[in-house]
Amino acid sequence: MKRSALLVVDNVDKRYGAEFPPAVSHLSFSLEEGEILALLGPSGSGKTTALRLIAGFEKPDSGAIVLKGVPVAGNGSWLPPEARKVGMVFQDYALFPHLTLLDNVAFGLSGSRKDRERKALEVLAKVGMDRLASRYPHELSGGQQQRVALARALAPEPWLILLDEPFSNLDADMRADMRREVEKVLRESNMSAVLVTHDQEEAFVLADRVGVLNNGSLEQLAAPEVLYHTPATRFVADFVGEADFLPGEVQDGIVTELGVLEHRCGLPRGTRVEIMIRPDDVDFEPDDEGNGIVAGRKFRGSENRYALRLPSGARVRSSQASTRVVATGTRVKVRVKLDHIVLFPVS
C-alpha cells in the first residue's frame, strides 16, 4: 500500500542577500508517512538551510512547503515554527542546563504538571532514560544527552522530526550505537524524519532515501544503493563512496587504456567519456609486463586500499584483502571487472 505524502517541498528558493548565490535553488522533494529521508552533501551545499525552511526558522523567497496537506510556507501562506507540529533535534542538543531531564522533556507540553510529567516519563522510557529523569544535562554523557534531545522532540507528538547533524559530537563507536538506537525509536514510533548530514555512512544506514545536495541544488534523490551504483551526475558519483574516473572514447565499445569495455551507451562514435570505477571494481596481479605500478597502500583494518598508477599517469584504487600485501613499486597487470558501466560524457 502506498503511503501518503506527509511533506512536500515544491520548487523552493532561498538566498541570503542579492550578492550571494542561492543557499537552496529550485528544491523539490516529498516525504511519505513513516519514511526517513537524509539530505547529504558537503559544507555549504544547503542542507541546514533546507532543514530550517521546513522547520519555519527561515522563509523561502519562492516556492511552497506543505505539511500534511496544510500550506505552511510560500504562496502567501506562513505558519511559525511552533504551529507546524515539527520536532527538532539540534547538533548541540540545546538542552536547558538548569532543568532536570524530566523538566527538559516536559517543557512546552500542555496540560497539568502531573500530566506533563507523566508524558515526559513515558517518552524518556522510550529512549531508555526514565531512570535518570532527575539528573541534569551536565551529569550525562554525549550519547545520553542525545537520547534526551530526541525524547524532547518526540514528546509533543509531532508529525515530523528534523535532525541536524545529530551525531557529529560523538566519537565513532558512540555514533554507531546512537544511529541504531535513534533508528529503532523512529521506526517503532512510525515517525517520519528528515536527517541532515555530511556523513555518507550515517545517511545510508538510517535513511530509506537519500538526497544529495550540491551548491543548493538537489542532484539526485534515491535509495542508498541506487545512489552508489547508478549515480545520476559526476558529482554524486564522486561524493557518494570512493570513485576514480577513467578516460575513454566511444567506438564499438568504450576504448580505455585498460582495454575495450563492452557497452552500448547510445552516444556517437568518438564521444569522449569518463567511466566511474569503484575500488572494488579493480583487481591486479604482479606482472613484469603489466600496465600499472603499485603507487601506495593504506591498511584500513578490514582491507588494504591500493593506489595503482597507469601508463598515462592516471591512478585508480583497488580494494584487496587485509592480508594481501604487495610492495610499492611492483609492476602489476590491472584489470577492471565492472558489473555495469556508469559513464559521463566529457564536454
Quote the pLDDT of residue 270: 93
Which of 75, 27, 84, 35 minimizes the C-alpha distance to 189? 35
Q: In what order do the strands lie in the sheet with 70-74?
A: 24-32, 5-14, 62-67, 70-74, 77-78
Neighbours of 20 (CB within 10 A): 8
Specify the 3-state DSSP secondary structure of 149: helix
- pLDDT for residue 90: 87
Question: Nearest Cα to 292, choosing from 255, 261, 326?
Answer: 326
User: Are 130 and 121 a contacting pair, CB within 8 Å?
Assistant: yes
User: Please, are residues 311 and 291 in contact by the beta-carbon 8 Å criterion?
Assistant: yes
Q: What is the pLDDT along the chain (347 residues), one digit of tens a residue?
A: 345 699 999 999 999 988 889 999 999 999 999 999 999 999 999 999 999 999 999 999 999 999 999 999 998 899 999 999 999 998 888 899 999 999 999 998 989 999 999 999 999 999 999 999 999 999 999 889 999 999 999 999 999 999 999 888 888 888 888 899 999 999 999 999 999 999 999 999 999 999 999 999 999 999 999 999 999 999 999 999 899 999 999 998 899 999 998 877 888 999 999 999 999 999 999 999 999 999 999 999 999 999 999 999 999 999 999 999 999 999 999 999 888 889 999 98
Which amino acid would we find at residue 274? E
Report the pLDDT value the prediction gives residue 3, as an integer from 0 to 100: 57
* Cα angle value 249/250/254 (rounded, 5°): 80
How many whole angstroms separate alpha carbon 194 and alpha carbon 14? 19
Angular region, 165: left φ>0, alpha ψ -120 to 50, beta rest: left
**C-alpha–C-alpha distance, residues 291 and 312, integer Å:** 10
Nearest CA to 141 among 102, 95, 89, 104?
Answer: 95
Residues in Cβ contact with 152 at an 8 Å cutoff, skipping those fewer than 6 apart: 87, 95, 104, 105, 107, 123
Q: Beta partners for 265?
A: none
Question: Closest Cα to residue 260, out of 245, 274, 276, 248?
Answer: 248
- Cross-strand bridge partners of residue 307: 296, 317
Q: Which residues contact 312 (CB under 8 A, 6 or more apart)?
A: 247, 257
Whole-number Cα distances in Å, 246 to 108, 123, 179, 313: 56, 52, 35, 11
Measure the CA–CA gap between 95 and 102, rounded to whole angstroms: 11
